[in-house]
Amino acid sequence: MDPAHNAAARFAALSALFDAASQRHLADRGVAPGWHCLEVGGGGGSIARWLGHRVGPTGRVLATDVETRFLEQIQLPNVDVRCHDITRDALPERAFDLIHTRMVLLHLSSRDLVLPRLLSALKPGGWLVCEEFDRQSAPPDPDVSPGEVVLKTNQALGRAHQDQGGARQYGRVLFGRLRAMGLTGLAPKRAW
């Protein structure tokens, strides 16, 4: 099967599963017309598109990813797309009212170095919304599905992810990392 088709299907599935909760979290932060937002690891573009509509013609959205072919399909005049590696490419300082990531940091081996960079790009009083999951705490359960092939697949994927510097449990430790950096107004949220 075509890799682009696989990516499109994966992005569509992620959007169907998580967009409603992401949109709720972002709306709860007060995203409004005129805001400047950064969407890091924009993937298929569903959240960047939603932000573009939410901030209106007086706002701006910068949607970044290391692969932008799906983001480039966004046809909104207030959404800019940039090929950007958050681990090494510069960001403007104090430029954004809101920065959003979803399932990005847990894949980065330098995730703890990225957080201060993101914070530097926030305007004073801005919001950092990181939706990172703790995949380690919810592995498939053999008592529910005996003989489940997913168990072996999940274990193999976990080893491969860890070998590449990923952290399956990052959603569990992110709150403490942000608190240690002196952030206030922290509120861990559940996706559902």
d(CA 145, CA 147): 6
- Residue 22: pLDDT band by 50, 70, 90 thresholds? very high
**Residue 40 backbone dihedrals phi, psi, to 5 degrees:** -90, 130
Q: Would you say residue 67 lies in a domain?
A: yes
Centroid of chain to Cα 21: 12
Residue 179 has a pLDDT of: 81
36 forms beta bridges with 60
- Residue 68: pLDDT band by 50, 70, 90 thresholds? very high
Cβ(52)–Cβ(34) below 8 Å: no
Domain that holds residue 64: 3-134+169-180
Cα–Cα distances in Å, from 116 out to 6, 34, 70, 159?
A: 33, 25, 28, 28
Q: What is the pLDDT of residues 73-113, one digit of tens each?
A: 999 999 999 999 999 999 999 999 999 999 898 888 888 89
Top-confidence residue, 151 or 71: 71
Residue 192 has a pLDDT of: 42
d(CA 126, CA 156): 39
Domain count, the chain: 1
Residue 122 CB contacts under 8 Å (≥ 6 apart), including other chains: 94, 96, 97, 99, 128
Q: Would you say residue 10 lies in a domain?
A: yes
Q: Would you say residue 54 lies in a domain?
A: yes
102 forms beta bridges with 131
Domain containing 127 — which CATH number? 3.40.50.150
Q: What is the mean pLDDT of the chain?
A: 84
